[in-house]
Amino acid sequence: MSETRPLAAEGGWNIRPSPDAVIAQLGRILASPEFKAPERAHKFLRYVVEESVAGRADRIKAFAIAVEVFGRDANFDAQNDPVVRIEAGRLRRALERYYLVAGQDDPVRIDIPKGGYAPVFVEQPRQGDETPAGSEPDGDVLPPSVAPARFSIRRLVDWRMALAIALAASVLGAVYLAVNREGPSAIAGGASPNMPVLIVRPFAELGAEADAALYAAGLTEEVLSQIARFREIRVLGSETSRSLPATADAAELNRRLGIRYVLEGGVRIFGGRLRVTSRVVDAETSQVLWSQTYDEDLRSSDIVQIEVDIANKVATAVAQPYGIIFRADEQRTARVPPDDLEAYRCTLRFYNYRAVLGTEEHASVRNCLERAVAHYPGYATAWAMLSYIYLDEDRFGFNWRNDAGGPIERSLEAAQRAVRLDPENVRALQALMMARFFNREAEESLRVGERALALNPNDTELLGEYGSRLAMAGHWQRGSELLEQALIRNPGNAGYYTGVLGLIAYMQGDDERAVTLIRRADMEKFPLYHVVAALIYARAGLTQEAAASRDQFLAMRPRFFDNLEDELIKRNYRPEDRRILTDAARAAGFPVP
């Protein structure tokens, strides 16, 4: 008989497993090869389960987990060190995958609801079991946003058939509410501008293979999880996408619910191979904006890793800056009156500025973003972008404004505000990394960069900037590797990435590659491009090209070399690298004191 003591952290069902059943289920999960999680996630899960079973669920807080599981000291600050939040997210995904792949018929389900770290335990009915008598939820049933999922893939199709008529009358109202309350990408801390809304439809199972439905469900969740990390778009949760009738097309979703983009696809298994097709549809026009097919050999790789790899590729193509939705929305917003779209339009203009790095674009975007944060003070991404714009006043000499504190201080304040508003916003962490780097806090800057990379390794804007910071701080090889990844996966900012790679090749003594890369970069509006080009051309013996680049730079930044050592120090170059660059500048004919 089920134990009556409440094992759920808050509320619960009156079907409650016994403590022995919970501990047995914990052992089952930790021993399973399908529980794909690092050792610290195993420790995390064991700690929260054992504390809860022992009646100490109220102790399960971020501070206790950080100290007792991750070895942080008594000075742990959850605001500035999100290790617990990050690992909790990974643990939740690992548990979801385990129950999807291996644990559908386990007697107990363990979940860690969002919004806390205390686990919830629920007895799972076995396949074919009836609900036990007296099992109706009592007065403290978990709300739908917290209650654990209790379905199996094999029963999903039958459920859809049975619920189709009932859902038809209520789904639109339910989804309308979901559109306004869901979305892992929703802006934290206040009102948000009219960002594009994307829904990920459940991937369809194609063909008659028994495992196709399982793989399709797993891939859907993985794609949703990866795309939700990008904060420039709003992604509707899986509950919404599952509640939609399968017959609803993109135009209907747009007309009734305001959904702008739809990602959908299918999974087929044949001859030991997995084929995944995916596409993005503009719900306003029903135009297919992007489609791709991925083929993988199931016999040569782990299915979980295959799903993760495919999801990463889809997320990068669709949701990153300069990706499919970014390009489509840039065209769309040009046709829409400004009203509350103006704040979101600023983010599009910011990425255009980043592609050219020109002084006129800088002034325009700064004005736009300052208006955006005044209207939407809780818009973390806009604060992060404004931090960048302030920083560029100092590092590039763009439109310097002589106000209190100076551009570096303004940049740091804006980045810190962005992180306070949304601690897991990668663009906010990227801005904080940059502000600390140019505030001569290189070690702390790289620590923040590594944290952001762990949150979203698919964000090529982050890959490029973090790779550049690593290189300047002397980690030339790793910086080069990250920049190469960014360049391969994101042609939208190719000029900047290629120019930094040219500098890296120069510092590593590969003059031929440096010349090839700097010619390919070609960023005429960006002053520092010309000084790097002059150094590369001069050492390669290309005298005329070196002179032209030198003259162009001096025309744009005539006083730069008055304080060359300070310029190099604030970019955190090591002393030995500063000597190389100073000697090279003299050799290229620059007026180095």
Q: Look at 14-28, 35-49, 494-508, 509-523 and tell me which has the smallest mean pLDDT.
A: 14-28
Boundary residue ending a domain (329, 359, 383): 329
Boundary residue ending a domain (416, 435, 458): 458
546-559 tens-digit pLDDT? 999 999 999 998 99
Predicted local confidence at residue 187, as pLDDT: 33
Within a domain: 135: no
Task: Give 382 or 331, the one with higher predicted confidence.
Answer: 382
129-159 tens-digit pLDDT? 444 333 333 333 333 333 333 334 334 434 3
Q: Are residues 568 and 580 in the same domain?
A: yes
Q: Are residues 308 and 385 in the same domain?
A: no
Question: Region 80-109: what's the mean pLDDT?
Answer: 82
Question: Region 183-190: what's the mean pLDDT?
Answer: 36
Task: Determine the Cα–Cα distance for residues 363 and 401; give it in Å rounded to an integer.
Answer: 11
Backbone conformation region of residue 402, classed left if phi is above 0, alpha if psi is from -120 to 50, else beta: beta
Structural contact between residues 269 and 215, judged by C-beta atoms closer than 8 angstroms:
yes
Task: Determine the Cα–Cα distance for residues 22 and 28; give it in Å rounded to an integer.
Answer: 10
Task: For residue 74, give the 3-state DSSP assignment.
Answer: coil
pLDDT value at 164 more than 80: no
Task: Determine the Cα–Cα distance for residues 168 and 243; give it in Å rounded to an integer.
Answer: 10
Per the structure, the complete domain to which residue 306 belongs is given by: 154-329
Predicted local confidence at residue 322, as pLDDT: 62
Task: Give 54 or 505, the one with higher predicted confidence.
Answer: 505
Q: Are residues 242 and 274 in the same domain?
A: yes
Q: Angle at the Cα of 221 (from 286 to 168), degrees rounded to 5?
A: 55
DSSP assignment letter at 124: P
Structural contact between residues 365 and 389, judged by C-beta atoms closer than 8 angstroms:
yes
DSSP assignment letter at 378: T
Q: Are residues 574 and 554 in the same domain?
A: yes
Burial of 509 (0-12, 13-18, 19+ CB in 10 A): exposed
Q: Are residues 235 and 287 in the same domain?
A: yes
Greatest mean pLDDT range, 183-187, 248-252, 321-325, 488-492: 248-252
Q: What is the CATH number of the domain that holds 177?
A: 3.40.50.10070
Q: Are residues 428 and 534 in the same domain?
A: no
Within a domain: 537: yes
pLDDT value at 280 more than 70: yes
Q: Are residues 159 and 176 in the same domain?
A: yes
Confidence of residue 13 (pLDDT cuts 50, 70, 90): very low
Task: Determine the Cα–Cα distance for residues 492 and 436; give it in Å rounded to an integer.
Answer: 26
Confidence of residue 125 (pLDDT cuts 50, 70, 90): low
Question: Model pTM?
Answer: 0.54
Confidence of residue 3 (pLDDT cuts 50, 70, 90): very low
Domain count for the chain, please give it.
4
Task: Determine the Cα–Cα distance for residues 164 and 176; give it in Å rounded to an integer.
Answer: 18
pLDDT value at 261 more than 80: yes
DSSP element (H, E) containing 206 = strand 204-206
Task: Give 130 or 379, the one with higher predicted confidence.
Answer: 379
Within a domain: 206: yes
Q: Look at 12-21, 186-195, 258-267, 464-473 and tell me which has the smallest mean pLDDT.
A: 186-195
Which residues on adjacent β-strands are paired with residue 235?
Answer: 198
Q: Are residues 181 and 305 in the same domain?
A: yes
312-352 tens-digit pLDDT? 788 777 777 767 776 666 555 544 433 456 677 788 788 88
Question: In this structure, how many other beta carbons lie within 10 angstroms of the beta carbon of residue 94?
Answer: 21
Predicted local confidence at residue 141, as pLDDT: 30
Predicted local confidence at residue 150, as pLDDT: 36
Task: Determine the Cα–Cα distance for residues 147 and 181; give it in Å rounded to an integer.
Answer: 16
Predicted local confidence at residue 159, as pLDDT: 37
Q: What is the CATH number of the domain that holds 581?
A: 1.25.40.10
Tell me the average pLDDT of the chain: 78
